[in-house]
Amino acid sequence: MKREYVLVALFFTIAATFLYLSYRIIIPFFAPICWAAVFVILFFPLYEKLLTRVKVRGLAALIVCVVIVVLIIGPITYLFFALVNEAADAVVKVNAMYKSGQLDKLLTIDLPWIDSMKEKLSQYYDLSKIDLDEIVKDAINKVSGLVVSQTTWLIANGTKAAFYFILMVFTIYYFFKEGEAMVFRLKRLTPLPTEQVSVTFAQLRDVIQATMYGGVVVALIQGLLGGILFLIVGIHSPVFWGAIMAFLSIIPFVGAFIVYVPAGIILVVGGSYVKGVIVILIGSLIISQVDNVIRPYLISGKTAMHPLLLFFCIMGGIALFGLLGIVLGPMIGAIFMTLLKVFELSLHPEATVSAEAETGAPP
């Protein structure tokens, strides 16, 4: 018995050592692998439809890779550099307005109900301590600084960025081509009966797809519409503000209205009444309603992540991984919830029936 214990301990020690070494080998390429996984999730329905026509996995994967590079990554690269230029311009303009006093005039709205509200609130807190233009200036500087710092990294590490890009496309190809075989192996390693494994992975697929399509895609649409709206009415840096609206739209309990409502109010206060009203109306009736119209269609029949959990996953993901955390945080949250489901099913196998009813997985 002692010999068996020693052999088992030796096996797990060797396994842990090589697991750690594998982690150290993979971790330098963590970002391109994660971005590859994100694009594969988003474009997998297209790959499945294409595969039914061409019948060859390698060819279907290659075609979808070309589509991703041409239609998605190219425009995103252009918009990213445009965003950087506009972010830098926004910082310069805000600082100039701050020094000249124009920012204070824009943020000073002389309305009776606002004065009445200030008077009531002053009983509980000294509002004179709040410097609104300093807060706005600091917020824009921080957001712009994040964007500019990411671009500085790209420029300073151009060769590395190009290598990561090629590696990402290469990974996307093999994820498409052999992804189903990888998932099959993971299912075999899951310590559950076959029917419970099917339910668990169906739930994981639904949560990830609902999060990606219901969050990222909808946010991109709202940011695009917001940027076009700002461009039409003549607001400076439409790409920058469109990107901010897209980012805010991903976060639960927040949204694009945090940008377009103040923009409309500032236009009205500045004398552009028609433009201000148009921004607020189109923002309220079209941009914000995209979430209510398109999201249910994209996540129909899928189990979405709870908004509170999604909020913390996004915030924690950004704090831990930077911009990649916007999509990686929810994915990690979905995997964690699935692991809890595996543990629940191992303790209570009778829960499989109710889980099948929720996910629609076959028994």
pLDDT at 359: 47
3-state secondary structure of 207: helix
pLDDT at residue 277 is higher than 70: yes
pLDDT tens digits, one per residue of 206-235: 777 777 777 777 888 888 899 899 889 888
pLDDT tier at 14 (50, 70, 90 boundaries)? very high
pLDDT at 63: 92
pLDDT tens digits, one per residue of 22-34: 889 988 888 888 8
Of 52 and 318, the one with more pLDDT = 52
pLDDT tens digits, one per residue of 159-196: 777 788 889 899 999 999 888 888 888 878 777 677 77
pLDDT at 17: 93
pLDDT at residue 322 is higher than 90: no
End-to-end CA distance of the chain: 42
The phi and psi torsions of 206 (rounded to 5 degrees) equal -65, -40
What is the percent of the chain where pLDDT is above 70?
67
Residues 59 and 136: their CA atoms lie apart, in Å, by 51
pLDDT tens digits, one per residue of 250-267: 777 778 888 888 888 888
pLDDT at residue 353 is higher than 80: no
pLDDT at 141: 57
The two three-digit tokens of residue 240, written as one number: 């920058």
Residues 107 and 104: their CA atoms lie apart, in Å, by 5
State the greatest distance between any 2 C-alpha atoms of the chain, in Å, as a whole number: 87
pLDDT at residue 278 is higher than 80: yes
pLDDT at 363: 40
Residues 272 and 266: their CA atoms lie apart, in Å, by 9
pLDDT tier at 362 (50, 70, 90 boundaries)? very low
The angle at the Cα of 125, spanning 119 to 126, to the nearest 5 degrees, equals 80
Query: Per this entry, what is the length of the chain?
Result: 363
pLDDT at residue 268 is higher than 60: yes
The two three-digit tokens of residue 353, written as one number: 């029936």
Going from N- to C-terminal start, the domains of the chain cover 1-189, 192-363
Of 92 and 133, the one with more pLDDT = 92
